[in-house]
Structure formats: structure tokens, C-alpha cells
Amino acid sequence: MQEAVPAALGRPFRLSSDAPTFGTARHRLTHDNPFRPGMPMSPTTRLALGGAVAVVAFDAVAAWAASRFGFDDAMATAGSCLLYLVIGFAAARVGTLRSAALAGALAGLAGASAGWFIARRIGPERLAAADLSPGRWAVGVAAEVLLAVVIASVGGLGGRSARERRARGAPRG
């Protein structure tokens, strides 16, 4: 260990490897897994759950904006696709390409279920539950999840490339 004296404090302190720093196992213990208490949640899992929340929130905001300003909320699909791309990119930077696809699947499932439900309650295209058969809903969910997986995988390819470039020490850009 080395001794250091910060100018502002004027007293010595010890730089220790015991101090919890970002990205270490001790830091991750503050983010407990809700499904396995006491076990740390992986960065990929946190990212996938955050991405799912972001997609649902985006769907709600897009539906509100569509009803408020009178545009077709199907135009917000581009925003959801951009979110899937970013989620896949980020997941592959901290995990694997498979992690990117799984994060995209979770985000797509959240968007197709909770996001769709919320958007239909507040958006301009309010559908009654009787208007939507279970088969039609299942096809819609499957299509959105598949779209999310494909787009997140494309983003994951970019994230994996960026991670490998960073590991080689190549300059950004």
C-alpha cells in the first residue's frame, strides 16, 4: 500500500485495494438480484431490464404524443427500433452477442405486452379487449419479439466490434 496526502485534507490516507470501486464484485453486491436475494445481478441483466422499462416508457410517451398532437402512433415504431438497436449494442459491449439477442427479446416482449397495453389505454387507437383475439395478439407479440431480436443482434454486432476494438487498444472513431 502507498501513503498519499491530499492537499485539501492535509492528512495522510491509505490507498487500498479493499475500497469498492465501480465494476468490482463488491460494487455489484449493491445491486442485488430480486430473483435470488444476496446474489449480484449481472450488468447484462440490469441492462436488459432497464431496456425493457425504456421501451415501455417510450411506448407510453409516444401514445400520449400521438393522441395529443394527432399523428399516427405507428410512426413511433422507428423509435422502438432505435431503442432495440441501442439495447443490443450496449448488451454486447458488456456481454456476448447472445446477451444482446436476449436483451432484445426481453425488451420486445415488454413492448409487445405492457407497452402495447399502456399505449392502447392512452393512445388514439383505443381498442376494446373484444376487438383483439388471442391469436391476433400472439402473432403481434411474436412479430415484435422477432423484430426486436433481429435489430438487437445487429446492434450487438456493433457492440461486439467496439468491445474487441477497445480490447486491442484501437482508437475510437
Domain layout of the chain by residue ranges: 43-168
Q: Bigger pLDDT: 170 or 109?
A: 109
Q: Bigger pLDDT: 111 or 73?
A: 111
**pLDDT for 125:** 66
pTM of the model as a whole: 0.72
Cell numbers found for residue 16: 487500498
- Which pLDDT tens digit goes with each residue over 94-132? 989 999 999 999 999 999 999 888 888 887 666 555 567
Asked whether residue 54 carries a pLDDT value surpassing 70, the answer given is yes
**3-state DSSP percent of the chain in helix, strand and coil, to 5:** 70, 5, 30
- Which pLDDT tens digit goes with each residue over 122-159? 876 665 555 678 888 899 899 999 999 999 999 999 99
Paired residues of 15 in beta bridges: 2
CA 70-75-77 angle, to 5 degrees, is 140
**pLDDT for 76:** 85
Cell numbers found for residue 58: 417510450
Task: Please spell the DSSP secondary structure of 80-130, one letter per residue.
Answer: HHHHHHHHHHHHHHHS-HHHHHHHHHHHHHHIIIIIHHHHHHHSSS---GG
- Which pLDDT tens digit goes with each residue over 2-51? 445 444 444 444 444 444 444 444 444 445 556 666 667 788 888 999 99
**pLDDT for 38:** 65
